[in-house]
Structure 1
Amino acid sequence: MFIQIIAVGKLKEKYWTDGIAEYMKRLGPYAKVTITEVADEKAPDNMSEAEEEQVKNKEGERILAQIKSEAFVFVLAIEGQTWSSEQIAQQIDKLGVDGRSSIAFVIGGSNGVSSAVMKRADQLLSFGRITYPHQLMRVILVEQVYRAYKIIRREKYHK
């Protein structure tokens, strides 16, 4: 299975990159996982709705350019379905059984994702009603993908 995480913005802080590196190392035996960072659009603090839409559209174009045509696309969105770790594992496993070998997870920018990215989504996925910093969301997502493979393989997860 090939899993691509597409995220807006660059991760700079060592504590975030260290956390992601640890889970990426653990994922090595299970799947090929890559993280693709797309540039965030520079924007003023007090944007109008039209300016915010423009920012999302520009970032959305960058995101869509990175998604493989055959990929099953999960877009992380607060209005998405809230699944358990077991449900995420079941979906990843089912995609593999169904012959889908490419999955993309999309983490938008601080303003969310464009309507074009939402339309490309095969599944909207929420990690709850609270908002996480985008950097932390990457760590959480990589950990959940790792956890999914441990569940799929019925292996014990170190706590």
Structure 2
Amino acid sequence: MGKLKEKYLKQGIAEYSKRLSKFCKFQVVEVPDEKAPEKLSEAEMEGVKEREGERILAKIKEREYVFALAIEGKERDSEQFAKEIDSLATYGHSDITFVIGGSLGLSPAVMKRSNAQISFGKFTLPHQLMRLVLTEQVYRAYMINSGSPYHK
């Protein structure tokens, strides 16, 4: 959700994307976020999440296995995450999609469409920074699964 503006984040994601290219077809799909004022009512916040959710869902194909990144999701360590990625590929889920919501989070419709929810802890991180963290963790998972010492 949203456009990546910071050069250092773009460079980090580009580096891990390049490294991932030897393991998989890795692609970042940006979806425009909803412009909204700072102060919103509860109903307005839900409306923003709903409109953003519609844009996200329009990009997800039926066959994709979807991880929604959400604070209330299940925490995993890097080895568990790597095992899960490996298991998904083994059981025919070769198209894996990770969804990072906007500043208000993900809509109920996106959460319902997800096959699993993943949390990177209770910290609140800007969604642009989360893109870099997630990209590195996906790379780390592939490195763990290949037996590389990168993870140590």
- Which residue identity does 2:104 align to in structure 1? N
CA contact (8 A) 2:67 2:117 kept: yes
Question: How many positions carry a matched residue from both structures?
Answer: 152
Which residue is equivalent to 1:54?
Answer: 47
CA contact (8 A) 2:67 2:115 kept: yes
Do residues 111 (structure 1) and 109 (structure 2) align?
A: no
% identity of equivalent residues: 60
Q: Tell me the CA shift for residue 133 of structure 1.
A: 1.0
Which residue is equivalent to 2:81?
Answer: 88
Give the TM-score normalised by the residue count of structure 1: 0.94
More strand as a share of residues? 1
* Separation of aligned partners in 2, 1:48 and 1:59: 17
Give the TM-score normalised by the residue count of structure 2: 0.98
Say what the alpha-carbon RMSD is for the aligned residues. Answer: 0.9
Q: Helix, strand or coil for the counterpart of 2:125?
A: coil
5+ residue gaps, structure 2, are: none
- Which residue identity does 2:19 align to in structure 1? R
Give 2:63's match in structure 1, choosing from 55, 59, 70: 70
The 5 Å alignment of 1:3-14 reads 8-14=1-7
More helix as a share of residues? 2
* Separation of aligned partners in 2, 1:63 and 1:143: 22
After superposition, the C-alpha distances for 1:61-95 in whole angstroms (9 at most, x for unaligned) are 00001111101100000000000011110111001
Which residue is equivalent to 2:17?
Answer: 24
Runs of 4+ in structure 1 over 4 Å off? none
